[in-house]
A and B are shown apart, each in its own frame.
Chain A
């Protein structure tokens, strides 16, 4: 009998073109997503070496990191941003790559639009010059971020040189409590394994909680695998996956659909497959979480308090905590629900899908945001925005006092005008709370869309369960 294999091992084995002497593999890449920030130097490299793009049809480009989220019809004001966006257009035209440009309703955050278009499929290898490419793992695709040199490598060869990763299974069984979302599941996991816990591993999320999540929730989980140190996170495909994909523009068409599904059904990890590491996280250990520090593993329940560095025995860790508290302007022992906020950002490749906006609107409906808060909704794509408007969600947000923006990465990383000012504090549905991430001196608290909506209404970090 054949040796039982994990989902990761199956995808890896099926994509090895050849194995070199030292074990490094030439790995075939099925899909390549390209954006404006990490690609210009790659295309320039191709030009300098006289190389072409091996498979333009396997490549899709979109501008998202740098784009304005208001006044879309006007010229992009920032010179460098405009040049970068125009450079992407020129490169796509020159190398024959499909581009969803700024006026295309399909434009949006690269990790939102891949799944939305049906481009993301089980069993694929998918790369992009962006660390949150792990998002696509929700479909049972091996998807990971790469640097610009590797972007050039994939454009030129449709492959990468890689060594296999170790495998880690993270099993979440049980039932999620009231107010606990996919975002809280992944924050709980990162809190447990730490920001380097997954380094060198590909994660596979299993268990009844994961099975019961919709695709949006699964994408939220896989998206933040990189915050746990893992380049990729995986969830086995199932009927939830296929039902989501069927009929999407780039999904296999009628005559090939059944063959594709039959293949996809062979992918889930075999019974008896073993992992290098196994983690159990019972659902009853999860709560609506927020972060208090400048690293995504600084997770506490919303009912908790800012931890005390004095209780940390490790000297370097203690110094890191003290630095984080100073940066964040917090004191040990302070209740998280007493933390007053200035801004709320609902958006990013982590939490800007229609399901996220529906959940946030459910909390906001009929309420107003607090007087001390500026809040914005940045949909993940033009299509998400259109769908939300079709459902009237925009009216709920606008009536509550939110700004209703166009699609892009926006304040998740603050490359465009959407930034925090020094000292400003933000409740954010994004994925990183690093120093300066959302603007120099800005302070970020990561949380779920419903928790962000609750914070907007209360004006402080708040427990969404008390707002029902």
Chain B
């Protein structure tokens, strides 16, 4: 996993609530057995006509947002299924950071496993960012995970919250299985105890 430290990039405005995982990556692309190559299918039904041509008005089909690495969107982003294909598709397209008033729990969690930073902000901050992107053409945003800030030129800094462990793992690009396996002895001890207390689980 690539570490996430700071990112200065074009942010795309996608101000719609309840963007579900079926919209992010439809079912026909879940038949893959690899993680790679899903970026071209990101937002498939929104992005392409039935004949495969681009829908010109879709945000990620327009300049400069074709090269966006940050997405600013509405509440409950990523609701629906647990498919990790959703963050895989975002990442493969180039998106490393999603900013929204709220996220669905499983999607939020899945982002961190893939080096994507999901940032929850108050609606007013999201609206300010959307205003900059849509009206004022201030397309470049800097996200600094270490300082937990979002910066744009001539605008006040926006701070954000994140769990300390998740931050540490993202900054280091660390594998959380590795973190857990540091506690292997405790897992062994837990299991020995469980075997004694609830033996039917091991029958």
Q: Which residues of A contact B (CB under 8 A)?
A: 17-18, 20-22, 24, 26, 28, 30, 37-38, 40-41, 44, 49, 51, 57-58, 65-66, 78, 80-81, 83-84, 87, 123-124, 129-131, 133, 145-150, 152-153, 156-159, 161, 163, 195-196, 199-200, 226, 229-231, 252-253, 256-257, 259-260, 263, 295, 316-317, 319-320, 323, 413-415, 422, 432, 434-437, 440
Contacts and interface: CB of A to CB of B under 8 A. Distances in A.
B164 A28 contact: no
Contacts of B74: 316
Given A161-B180, A200-B105, A436-B26, A30 B201 contact: yes
B104 A229 contact: yes
Nearest to A314: B17
Interface residues of B, number: 58
Contacts of A65: 30
Given A199-B102, A415-B27, A129 B82 contact: yes
22 contacts: A37-B30, A41-B35, A123-B198, A131-B81, A131-B82, A146-B109, A147-B87, A149-B114, A153-B177, A157-B187, A158-B191, A163-B163, A195-B76, A253-B200, A260-B198, A260-B200, A414-B27, A422-B50, A432-B20, A432-B80, A434-B80, A440-B45
Contact of B83 (A38, A153, A263, A414): A38
Contact of A320 (B18, B50, B102, B109): B18
Given A131-B106, A436-B26, A316 B17 contact: yes
A231 B181 contact: no
B58 to A, nearest CB: 14
Given A131-B81, A196-B79, A196-B104, A161 B176 contact: yes
B187 A147 contact: no
A69 to B, nearest CB: 15
Contacts, number: 184
B110 A147 contact: yes
Contacts of A257: 200
A51 B181 CA distance: 11
Interface string B169-203: 00000001101110110110011001000111111
A257 B198 CA distance: 11
Contacts of B164: 21-22
Contacts of A440: 26, 45, 50
Interface of B: 15-18, 20, 22-23, 26-28, 30-35, 45, 50, 74-76, 79-84, 87, 102-106, 109-110, 113-114, 163-165, 176-177, 179-181, 183-184, 186-187, 190-191, 194, 198-203
Contacts of B28: 415
B35 A156 contact: no
Nearest to B123: A316
Given A28-B187, A145-B82, A199-B102, A22 B165 contact: yes
Given A21-B164, A80-B32, A159-B187, 17 more contacts: A17-B190, A22-B163, A37-B83, A38-B82, A58-B201, A84-B33, A87-B33, A147-B106, A156-B181, A161-B165, A161-B179, A200-B105, A230-B105, A263-B198, A316-B74, A432-B80, A436-B22
A147 B82 contact: yes
B75 A252 contact: no
A414 B75 CA distance: 26
A40 to B, nearest CB: 4
B18 A295 contact: yes
Contacts of B27: 413-415, 437
A413 B82 CA distance: 13
Contacts of B110: 147, 149-150
Given A253-B203, A256-B203, A320 B198 contact: no
